[in-house]
Amino acid sequence: MAASPESKLQLVQRHIRAFPDYPKKGILFRDICPILKDPAALTAVTDLFEEHVRKNHQQVDLIVGLDARGFLFGPLLAQRLGVGFVLVRKKGKLPGTTISVSYDLEYGKAEAEIQEDAVAPGQKVLIIDDLLATGGTLYAACELLGKQQADILGCMVVIELKEMNGIDKLKSHNVFSLVQY
């Protein structure tokens, strides 16, 4: 008998570790490494994302994963859905012609980029990452995909840190999170 969505979610939650005062004092870091280490937990994450996509999106052309942890979940989901996977990377990490945007982080600025030919105008895309905190990285990815005239169906994350209010930056996009703190 297949596990219920609730039992899958409980399994995922049990595999998220908290590290107080990392990377600096006052921060409670949520670690997904135990999910990756446990095949059942990783399968549960993929199952839950797949169930969400199949229920809410009639057509998806590409999954877009954010550097670097979106690269862990995105290809698994893309394979399940039978669609392609595209990378959004930190500046200087992709070959060929790229498009980039600057964005603010909690501790400074960064740039994200995508290959110029990664997404065709009108392609229906879902963006995936491990965590939504301040929303800067997901927002930058949405801007990049907007420059490529993609149809952004939504954003998906394993963990949403609600107290960081990252969802406010993404008001014009649907955001789905498996676990909220």
Range of the domain at 83: 5-180
**Which pLDDT does position 2 carry in this prediction?**
78
Structure-token pair, residue 151:
């149809």
- pLDDT digit string (tens) for 14-73? 999 999 999 999 989 999 999 999 999 999 999 999 999 999 999 999 999 999 999 999
Separation CA 32–CA 77 (nearest Å) = 17
69 given a catalytic annotation: yes
- pLDDT digit string (tens) for 115-158? 999 999 999 999 999 999 999 999 999 999 999 999 999 999 99
Which distant-in-sequence residues (6+ apart) come within 8 Å of 50 by Cβ? 77, 80, 81
Residue tagged active-site, from 30, 69, 89, 113: 69
> Domain containing 88 — which CATH number?
3.40.50.2020
**Which pLDDT does position 8 carry in this prediction?**
98
Separation CA 89–CA 129 (nearest Å) = 12
* Confidence class for position 105, pLDDT limits 50, 70, 90: confident
Average pLDDT score over residue span 9-13? 98
Separation CA 17–CA 34 (nearest Å) = 7
The candidate with the shortest Cα–Cα distance to 42, out of 1, 82, 80, 91, is: 80
Separation CA 131–CA 151 (nearest Å) = 22
What secondary structure letter does DSSP report for 146?
H
Residue 1 pLDDT greater than 70, yes or no = no
Strand 124-132, strand 151-160: pairing = parallel
The total number of structural domains in the chain stands at 1
Residue tagged active-site, from 14, 54, 106, 163: 106
